[in-house]
C-alpha cells in the first residue's frame, strides 16, 4: 500500500520547521494538490532502470541512521511491479549493517541520482531480505549473469512513496560510458579529417 510522500516526510516537527522558515503555506498547498498515492509509473521505471548507483538509509536499534552505497551495472536495481523494486546484494566488506538494521526496522529511505542530467528521485520503502533457498525464482530475476560479483542474497523494496526532488546543487558528473558517448562524434570527425589529410598528401606526392 503506497501513500503520498508528504504524509511520511512532513511530520509535526518538519511542519514546525517549515513554519519558522516561512514556507509552511507553500507546502500546505503542495499537500492539498498531492493527494493521490504514488507508485512506480513509466517515468520512475525508466529512471530507476537507468541507474548504476543508489544510496539507502536505514536505522539501527540504537537509533543511529546508516547510509549505504549500493551499485552495480546499469539496471542492477530492478522494478518488479508498480510498487516493488529489488536488487541483488553483492558481497562487500561483510559488515552487514543495513541487513541487520532492516531486520529490526524495515523502513528505508533511498536516493537515486542522475548526475549528468541533474535529476534526483527519493523513495520511501520497506526492505526485506530474500535468500536463494527461499525464492530461487526471485533471485534469478534480480541477478545479472554478465556481472561477476558474488551475490549473497536479494533485497526486496516495497515502495511506500516517491518524490522527484529539485535539481539544485547537483554537480554534473559523467560516467566513463557517458564521456565516451559524448566524444564519439568528435573522434569520428577527427578520423575523417585525418583520412582527408592523408589523401591530400598522397595526391600531392603523385
At residue 113, the pLDDT reads 96
Asked if 122 and 90 sit in the same domain, the reply is yes
Asked if 147 and 167 sit in the same domain, the reply is yes
At residue 201, the pLDDT reads 83
Residue reference for cell 531486520: 103
CATH code, 103:
2.30.110.10
Name the residue among 160, 172, 57, 67 with its Cα closest to residue 120: 172
Asked if 191 and 91 sit in the same domain, the reply is no
Residue range 33-39: mean pLDDT, rounded: 77
Host H or E run for residue 162: strand 151-165
Asked if 32 and 46 sit in the same domain, the reply is no
Q: List 67's β-bridge partners, or say none.
A: 57
Asked if 56 and 155 sit in the same domain, the reply is yes
Asked if 104 and 166 sit in the same domain, the reply is yes
Asked if 134 and 46 sit in the same domain, the reply is yes
Name the residue among 31, 130, 134 with its Cα closest to residue 84: 130
Asked if 142 and 188 sit in the same domain, the reply is no
pLDDT digits (tens, 9 = 90+) for 94-109: 999 999 999 999 999 9
CA angle 71, 176, 139 (to 5 degrees): 25
Asked if 8 and 74 sit in the same domain, the reply is no
Asked if 127 and 44 sit in the same domain, the reply is yes
The number of folded domains in the chain is: 3
Asked if 168 and 178 sit in the same domain, the reply is no
pLDDT digits (tens, 9 = 90+) for 153-203: 999 999 999 999 888 899 999 988 889 999 999 999 999 999 989 888 888
Asked if 21 and 94 sit in the same domain, the reply is no
At residue 2, the pLDDT reads 67
Give the range of the structural domain holding residue 179, as residue numbers without chain letter.
174-206
CA angle 143, 126, 164 (to 5 degrees): 90
Q: List 125's β-bridge partners, or say none.
A: 108, 159
Amino acid at each position: 500500500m503506497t501513500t503520498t510522500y508528504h504524509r511520511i516526510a512532513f511530520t509535526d516537527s518538519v511542519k514546525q520547521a517549515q513554519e519558522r522558515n516561512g514556507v509552511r503555506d507553500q507546502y500546505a498547498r503542495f499537500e492539498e494538490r498531492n493527494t493521490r498515492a504514488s507508485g512506480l509509473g513509466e517515468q520512475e521505471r525508466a529512471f530507476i532502470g537507468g541507474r548504476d548507483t543508489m544510496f539507502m538509509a536505514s536505522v539501527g536499534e540504537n537509533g543511529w541512521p546508516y547510509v549505504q552505497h549500493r551499485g552495480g551495472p546499469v539496471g542492477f536495481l530492478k522494478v518488479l511491479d508498480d510498487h516493488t523494486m529489488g536488487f541483488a546484494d553483492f558481497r562487500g566488506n561483510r559488515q552487514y549493517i543495513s541487513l541487520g538494521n532492516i531486520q529490526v526496522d524495515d523502513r528505508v529511505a533511498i536516493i537515486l541520482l542522475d548526475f549528468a542530467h541533474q535529476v534526483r528521485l527519493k523513495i520511501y520503502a520497506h526492505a526485506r531480505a530474500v535468500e536463494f533457498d527461499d525464492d530461487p525464482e526471485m533471485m534469478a530475476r534480480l541477478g545479472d549473469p554478465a556481472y561477476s560479483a558474488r551475490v549473497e542474497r536479494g533485497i526486496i523494496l516495497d515502495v511506500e512513496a516517491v518524490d522527484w526532488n529539485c535539481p539544485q546543487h547537483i554537480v554534473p558528473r559523467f560516467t566513463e560510458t557517458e564521456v565516451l558517448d559524448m566524444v564519439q562524434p568528435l573522434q569520428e570527425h577527427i578520423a575523417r579529417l585525418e583520412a582527408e589529410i592523408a589523401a591530400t598528401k598522397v595526391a600531392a606526392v603523385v
